[in-house]
Structures are given as structure tokens and as C-alpha cells.
């Protein structure tokens, strides 16, 4: 028989914290990690309007699929699942729920190899390694910053147009898979690098049909996907970063750093373009202020600015 009393979630979390420390004897760092995992689940349930008492195994599978969709590494997924399972085991143990919905939740196999993640320090090292006395190097720094700050696919980056950049509103309009459009907040760091590069771009003789593309090669045509791979790998080698890095690594780093910073899963999904958005207007109306605030609050680039 469950405790059919209206216990506040904050009170349950406090008791769960005490349980982890006193009964399980876990270290503070481990307890903190478990609580972060529970908060991620709580955010997801809140968006889906599901109460703790009504969580089903299907709800939890949906939560895990969300983690997979935004590119969270298998090892991180396994850790989050472990924290969630401990939480529901506690709820069943204390009689808050009749049945543990996480009982059949499977932990992903850790043998699967996903792309490397770069730390914010490694990304800073890469950006600081460019020789800014050279126009191409200033362009390349802007490329890295835009990919990392906005979580773009390489195809989205090479197709990004000047007319899709809204400096005053600090947004870019991205055309993703299936020609779906989404608005992505633009950090002040990215705006600074783009504006610096645009000065150089004005001196490039642009080929017809490429006038609106943001990033151009020296021949005045838009950059290829292969060229972006080359730029990133060359710079990583120069910095002594011995990881298998690709443009997608920056996208995975973007999602991982946001998640670790406490951003809402739904916001990250939409930033990455995994949501079905029929028109830009509907997207703007429903989510623009919410998503922008999530990125401002949780992306490392914006958190650095807030401290200044």
C-alpha cells in the first residue's frame, strides 16, 4: 500500500539524499551525481506533465530515448540510469509507490564507441591556437565557435547564410534535415567571431550563386564538408589533442556540456533540431524565450559572460 499522502517532491529528495548518505554510505560526489540524474528525470517529467506516482516503464524508456537523441554518450546514459533506478528503488522501499517502474530498465552496453567529447578547456585551446594575423585563421576560429556555441551539423554550417543571421536578436535560422527550419540562439562569443570574419569576407571575390553563404574559401565559393573536417583535425593535431575529433564532436560536446550544466532535455532536443517543427513561426511563438534562456543559463560560453 503506497503512502497516499501528498508529500512534496523536495521533501522526498531530502529523504533520498539522507538515504544515500546514511544507509548506502555513498560519498558526497556520488550523492551529488545521483541527485543530478534525478533532477534530469524530474525536468523531463515536468515537461511531459507526468507525476512521480504515475511514472511508467514506458515513460522511463521515453526519457532514455531523449538522452540518446541528443547524443549523450553511452557511459553517461548508464550512469543516469543507475541514479534513476536507485531513486525508484528507494520510492518503492519507502512505500511511496507500489511498483518500481525502472525494474526492467536496461543499462546500455558500454562497449559501444561514440564520438569523443571535447572539454571546454580543449575547445578554448583550439580557438586560441589560431594565428589571427591571417584571414583564413580568423575564419576558422569563427567556424569552431559557431559549431560549438550552436550545436550545428556540418551540413548546416556550410549552408549557413548571412541573411539567416539576426545579430540584434542574437539568433540564427538553421535549415536542418528535411528542410526543417529552427531558430538557434547565438552567443556573444559567436557574434564577435562572425563579425570579425565578415570584415575579411568582404575582400573575397565571391562567385555567382555563393553571395549569401557565410563561410567561403579563397576562391569565393562555400566551404565543403570535407574542408571543415580538415580544419578541425589539423587544429587538434597542432594543439596536441590526441582524440578522434570530427565536426560532430563539437555537436556532441555542445549537447553534453548543456546537459551537465543542468539544461532542460526538451530545450537541448529542439536546439539540435530533433523536434518536428512545421513552421518557423509556430516554433518562435512557442519556444523562443524558453530555449534562449536555457542556452544563456547553461552553455559554458554564456556562463563565462555572466561571470564578467
Instruction: Assess contact for 194 and 142: CB atoms under 8 A.
Output: yes
Torsion of CA 116, 296, 231, 125, to 10 degrees: -70
Q: Which residue is catalytic, options 19, 182, 283, 292?
A: 283
Annotated catalytic, 251?
Answer: yes
Annotated catalytic, 90?
Answer: no
Q: Which residue is catalytic, options 79, 180, 274, 288?
A: 274
Annotated catalytic, 99?
Answer: no
State phi, psi for 202 to the nearest 5 degrees.
-60, -20
Residue among 121, 111, 50, 37 at smallest CA distance from 81: 37
Instruction: Assess contact for 200 and 138: CB atoms under 8 A.
Output: yes
Annotated catalytic, 274?
Answer: yes
Annotated catalytic, 153?
Answer: yes
State phi, psi for 245 to the nearest 5 degrees.
-105, 135
Torsion of CA 206, 207, 208, 209, to 10 degrees: -90
Q: How many CB atoms lie within 10 A of CB 268?
A: 26
C-alpha span between 53 and 99 (Å, rounded): 10
Q: Which residue is catalytic, options 153, 292, 298, 301?
A: 153
Tell me the H-state helices in the chain.
9-18, 28-48, 57-69, 74-93, 120-128, 135-150, 154-158, 188-201, 225-239, 247-260, 265-272, 280-298, 300-307
Sign of CA dihedral 27, 28, 33, 37: positive
Q: Which residue is catalytic, options 177, 192, 243, 244?
A: 177
Q: What are the cell numbers at 66?
A: 531523449
Annotated catalytic, 177?
Answer: yes
Catalytic residues: 153, 177, 248, 251, 274, 283
Amino acid at each position: 500500500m503506497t503512502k497516499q499522502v501528498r508529500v512534496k517532491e523536495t521533501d522526498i529528495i531530502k529523504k533520498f539524499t539522507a538515504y544515500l548518505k546514511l544507509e548506502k554510505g555513498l560519498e558526497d560526489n556520488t550523492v551529488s551525481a545521483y541527485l543530478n540524474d534525478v533532477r534530469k528525470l524530474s525536468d523531463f517529467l515536468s515537461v511531459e506533465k507526468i507525476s512521480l506516482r504515475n511514472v511508467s516503464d514506458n515513460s522511463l524508456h521515453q526519457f532514455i530515448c531523449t538522452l540518446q537523441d541528443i547524443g549523450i554518450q553511452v557511459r553517461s546514459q548508464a550512469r543516469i540510469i543507475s541514479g534513476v533506478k536507485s531513486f525508484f528503488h528507494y520510492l518503492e522501499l519507502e512505500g511511496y509507490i507500489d511498483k518500481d517502474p525502472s525494474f526492467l530498465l536496461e543499462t546500455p552496453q558500454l562497449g559501444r564507441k561514440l564520438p569523443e567529447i571535447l572539454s571546454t578547456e580543449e575547445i578554448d585551446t583550439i580557438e586560441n591556437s589560431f594565428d589571427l594575423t591571417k584571414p583564413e585563421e580568423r575564419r576558422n576560429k569563427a567556424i569552431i565557435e559557431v559549431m560549438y556555441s550552436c550545436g550545428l551539423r556540418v551540413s548546416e554550417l556550410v549552408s549557413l547564410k548571412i541573411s539567416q543571421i539576426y545579430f540584434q536578436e542574437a539568433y540564427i535560422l538553421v535549415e536542418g534535415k528535411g528542410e526543417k527550419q529552427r531558430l538557434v540562439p547565438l552567443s556573444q562569443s559567436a557574434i564577435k567571431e562572425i563579425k570579425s570574419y565578415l570584415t575579411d569576407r568582404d575582400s573575397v571575390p565571391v562567385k555567382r550563386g555563393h553571395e549569401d553563404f557565410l563561410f567561403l574559401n579563397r576562391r569565393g565559393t562555400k566551404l565543403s564538408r570535407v574542408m571543415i573536417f580538415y580544419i578541425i583535425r589539423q587544429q587538434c593535431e597542432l594543439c596536441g589533442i590526441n582524440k578522434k575529433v570530427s565536426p560532430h564532436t563539437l555537436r556532441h560536446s555542445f549537447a553534453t556540456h548543456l546537459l551537465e550544466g543542468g539544461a532542460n532535455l526538451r530545450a537541448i532536443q529542439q536546439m539540435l533540431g530533433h523536434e518536428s517543427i512545421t513552421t518557423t513561426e509556430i516554433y518562435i511563438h512557442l519556444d523562443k524565450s524558453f530555449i534562449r534562456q536555457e542556452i544563456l543559463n547553461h552553455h559554458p560560453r554564456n556562463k563565462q559572460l555572466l561571470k564578467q
